[in-house]
Amino acid sequence: MGQIAIGHQAIPFCLPDADEKKVCLDDYSGRWIVLYFYPRDNTSGCTLEAINFTKEIEKFRDLGTEVIGISPDSPKSHCAFRDRHDLKVILLSDLDYHVLEEYGVWILKKMYGKEHYGVERSTFIINPQGTVAAVWRKVNVDGHIQEVMETLKSLQQSM
């Protein structure tokens, strides 16, 4: 299980999207990427996060940035989630947890005294050279998208 950090090369992957089309990180080579990991479609925090990214998607795209969300949900679940909330972000399915593990976001959690594995809500900004430029772990959704946007603008200005 990895613990990717600022300055590391982003770990390449290919995963199915909501329409079961294979999407690879390399498809966005030379572009900025906001890569976020979330626990589950249609839960309150995950829905709010996806809707908030969607509200700002044109601003991200104006900055040459694509927003990609990954969870262990199926493409069918992502399709229903996308359509139900009119989401504009790319949603990818990691059914075998491989990418989640590689990015160090598939972790042992404790809830009500029981342990289970789940996704630690996390966000990564990847620069056009494929290097991780910013990392947020244990994300609190409130205000997060604005913080990501401000950080992205700052990173772009410093290049």
Q: Would you call 79 a catalytic residue per the annotation? A: no
- Residue 2: what pLDDT? 59
pLDDT band at 145 (very low <50, low <70, confident <90, very high): very high
Catalytic annotation, pick one of 14, 24, 46, 79: 46
Query: Does residue 34 contact residue 65 with C-beta atoms inside 8 Å?
Result: yes
- What are the pLDDT digits (tens) for 49-61? 999 999 999 999 9
Residue 112 pLDDT grade (very low, low, confident, very high; cuts 50, 70, 90) = confident
What confidence score (pLDDT) does residue 114 get?
Answer: 86
The neighbour count for residue 30, using CB atoms within 10 Å, is 10
For the domain made up of 30-157, the CATH class stated in words is alpha beta
Pick from 79, 72, 66, 73: nearest CA to 152:
66
pLDDT for 84 equals: 97
pLDDT per residue as tens digits for the range 77-100: 999 999 999 999 999 999 999 999
- Please give the average per-residue pLDDT across 121-136, as a whole number: 97
Mean pLDDT of 34-54: 97
Could you state, in order of their start, the residue ranges of all structural domains in the chain? 30-157
- Distance CA(148)–CA(88), nearest Å, equals 17
Sheet containing strand 132-136, edge to edge, reads 90-93, 65-71, 32-37, 122-126, 132-136
Rounded to the nearest integer, the mean pLDDT of the chain is: 95
Model pTM score: 0.95
